[in-house]
């Protein structure tokens, strides 16, 4: 399998970079295709052009699956019904409330609810996956709700 990888790696990287948003995503596509190829022993018996085609199809399908998943999560995120305005009646109260959070979580809340950035945009800025942004936002909101209930 390593011989196969050596033969096709330049083509795979070029193709992955052409369809991915950034280099890390391209490397993830290649890695995923290589892992899947380990479960396809008949791949070694195919002509080289069919091997390349198999890798390209696997990478393209993975990218399509990822995009669909992101779209579903973005729609879910839009339905996320936390209103920062319900946290306090003034910007001062909200700022005081955010001071209870670690700086990282406070920054995420600020970017999401004040600047209106999506988790995808925040993730691109911070170079972390959008799903991680959503998870941290969930934690931050949970902490804010706990603090608000304690203050009542």
SS3 22: coil
Per residue of the chain (152 residues), what is the pLDDT tens digit? 677 788 888 999 999 999 988 888 899 999 999 999 999 889 889 898 999 999 999 999 999 998 888 777 666 665 555 555 555 556 677 778 888 889 999 899 888 887 888 888 899 999 998 888 989 998 888 888 888 888 76
What Å distances lie between residue 65 and 3, 29, 59, 69, 72, CA to CA?
28, 11, 10, 6, 11
Place of tokens 């091997």: 51
What does the radius of gyration of the chain's CA atoms come to, in whole angstroms? Answer: 22
The answer to whether the pTM exceeds 0.85 is no
């Amino acid at each position: 399998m390593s011989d196969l990888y050596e033969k096709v790696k330049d083509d795979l990287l070029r193709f992955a970079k052409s369809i991915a948003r950034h280099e890390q995503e391209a490397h993830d596509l290649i890695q995923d295709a290589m892992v899947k190829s380990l479960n396809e022993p008949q791949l070694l018996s195919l002509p080289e052009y069919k091997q390349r085609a198999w890798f390209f199809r696997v990478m393209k399908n993975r990218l399509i699956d990822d995009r669909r998943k992101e779209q579903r999560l973005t729609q879910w995120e839009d339905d996320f019904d936390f209103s920062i305005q319900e946290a306090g009646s003034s910007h001062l109260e909200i700022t005081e409330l955010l001071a209870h959070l670690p700086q990282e979580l406070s920054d995420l809340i600020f970017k999401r609810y004040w600047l209106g950035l999506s988790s995808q945009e925040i993730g691109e800025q911070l170079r972390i996956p959008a799903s991680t942004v959503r998870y941290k936002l969930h934690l931050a909101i949970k902490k804010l709700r706990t603090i608000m209930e304690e203050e009542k």
